[in-house]
Amino acid sequence: MRKYKPFQLNDIIKTIFCFFVLLSFSSHAESLPKIVVLATGGTIAGTGTSEMQTTGYKPGVLTADMLLKSVPSLSSVAQVSAEQISNVGSDNINNEILLKLAKRVNVLLAQPDINGIVITHGTDTLEETAYFLNLVVKSKKPVVLTASMRPSTAISADGRGNLLQAVIVAASHEASGRGVMIVMNDRISSARYVTKTNANTLDTFKDYEHGYLGHVVDQVPHFEMRAGKLNTTDTPFDITNLKMLPDVVINYGYQNEVPYMYDAAIEHGVKGIVVAGTGGGSESLAIIPSLKKAIEKGIVVVRSSRTGSGYVAGDPAYVGLLSNDLNPQKSRILLMLALTVTNDPPQIQEMFNKY
C-alpha cells in the first residue's frame, strides 16, 4: 500500500512561486497595448496549391482569426483581437468597403482602452485605402496597414513577418500622430507618399522622393521622419454619416488620345475627373474641348501625372486643378472626399495643397 506523503514545506514554496509567476505573466499580458486587427483580404490571406506558387493563387481565403493564430508571437507584444471587414482581393475594394472600414476604425479608436489599429489588405490598392484613412480617421492613435506579396503557402511568404511588425508599430507610443502608415519589409511609410512600384517583388512599396518615416529592426521600431502634409484630425472630412462617395474617375493620358473616354464620363454623370496626364500633367489637344465641357457642367477636373512622382506644372494651356505631387489614384481619393465638402474649385485646390 502507498503511504500518504504529507505536504512538505518545499512543495508549498514551489506552489506559491508558481502562483506568482502565473500572476505576473497574466498582469504583464494585461498591461500590453490593445490592438485590433481589421482584415480585408488580399494575398496576406491568400493560399496557393504548393509552396512554388506565387501568382494565380486565391486571395482572401484565411480569416482574420486564422491570420492572428498564424503569428503566436503577437501575444508577447500586444493584446490583439481581430475582426473581418471583408475578404477580397484589393482590386475589389470599393467605396462601400472603404466607408465601412473607416467608420469601424473611428468607432474603435474612440474607445479609451484601444491603443491602435492594424489593417490587413491586398497590396494592389493598399495605398488608396491608406490615404483615404489618412484623411478621414479622427484620432492621433496609430493606424497601420500591412499586406504581403506572397500567399501564406509560398516558400517566401512575407505576411506573418509583416503582420508582426505592423502590430509592433501600432503598439508603439512613438507611432502616435504620424498619420496613417504602411508597414512592410522592415519599412514604416507614410500613406500620403508611398506607392506600389513593382508588380512582383516583395520590396514593392517605395517612397523614392521623400523617404520613410522609419524602420523596424530586430522587431524594434525606429522613427526618423514625419509626413509634412496635414492628416487625420487636421482635415475637414467627416464620414460618420456618409452612405456613399461621389463618382470620380481617372482617365489615362497617352499618344493619339481619344476624347470619347471623357465624353462617356460626362454623359455618365461623374462628379469629378482625374487626368493621369503625361509628364508634368500635360493634356493632349484632342481632349481639351471635352475637359472644358466637363468643367462647364460643374464637374471638377484635376490634373495629375502618370509618371508616379514629381509635381504637376501650372500651365495655362491645360485644364483643371493641380494635384501637385499626388499620384492619380490618390488624387481620386482626395477629390471624392473634397466633393463631400464643396464643389468650389479654388477651395478644392486649397485641399490639394494641404493634404
Taking CB under 6 A as the rule, does residue 328 contact ligand ASP? no
Stretch that binds ligand ASP, among 1-9, 119-127, 186-194, 331-339 (CB under 6 A): 119-127
**In the block, residue with C-alpha cell 508599430:** 169
Stretch that binds ligand ASP, among 117-125, 175-183, 276-284, 285-293 (CB under 6 A): 117-125
| DSSP notation for 203-220 | T-EE-TTT--SEEEETTE
CB of 121 to ligand ASP, least distance (A): 7
CB of 53 to ligand ASP, least distance (A): 13
Residues binding ligand ASP: what is the number (CB under 6 A)?
11
Catalytic one of 15, 40, 43, 63: 43
Q: Which of 33, 38, 39, 43 binds ligand ASP (CB under 6 A)?
A: 43
Sheet containing 181-184, strands listed edge to edge, beginning at the edge strand earlier in sequence: 79-84, 34-39, 116-120, 143-146, 181-184, 187-190, 214-217, 220-223
CB of 119 to ligand ASP, least distance (A): 13
Regarding beta strands 205-206 and 79-84, do their DSSP bridges make them parallel or antiparallel, or are they unpaired?
A: unpaired
For this structure, is 195 an active site residue?
no
Stretch that binds ligand ASP, among 118-126, 181-189, 224-232, 260-268 (CB under 6 A): 118-126
Residues 51-80 binding ligand ASP (CB under 6 A) are: 59
Which of 123/134 has CB closer to ligand ASP? 123
Q: x/- binding map, residues 75-114, to ligand ASP, per CB under 6 A?
A: --------------xxx-----------------------
Angle formed at CA 178 by CA 175 and CA 181, multiple of 5 degrees: 80
Taking CB under 6 A as the rule, does residue 135 contact ligand ASP? no
CB of 70 to ligand ASP, least distance (A): 16
Distance from C-alpha of 35 to C-alpha of 64, rounded to nearest angstrom: 13
Which of 59/281 has CB closer to ligand ASP? 59
Taking CB under 6 A as the rule, does residue 124 contact ligand ASP? yes
Taking CB under 6 A as the rule, does residue 179 contact ligand ASP? no
Cβ contact 301:309 at 8 Å: no
Three-state SS string over 141-180 comes to CCEEEECCCCCCCCCCCCHHHHHHHHHHHHCCHHHCCCCC
Residue 243 CA: distances (Å) to CA of 99, 236, 238, 250: 8, 17, 12, 22
Task: Name 343's bridge partners.
Answer: none
In this structure, the chain runs to a length of: 355
| DSSP notation for 278-298 | BTTTB--TTTHHHHHHHHHTT
Taking CB under 6 A as the rule, does residue 147 contact ligand ASP? yes
Taking CB under 6 A as the rule, does residue 123 contact ligand ASP? yes
Q: Which of 48, 116, 122, 328 binds ligand ASP (CB under 6 A)?
A: 122
Residue 41 CA: distances (Å) to CA of 9, 38, 60, 101, 261: 56, 10, 4, 12, 32
Tell me which residues are annotated as active site. 43
Q: Which residues sit at the interface with ligand ASP, rule CB under 6 A? A: 42-43, 59, 89-91, 122-124, 147, 149
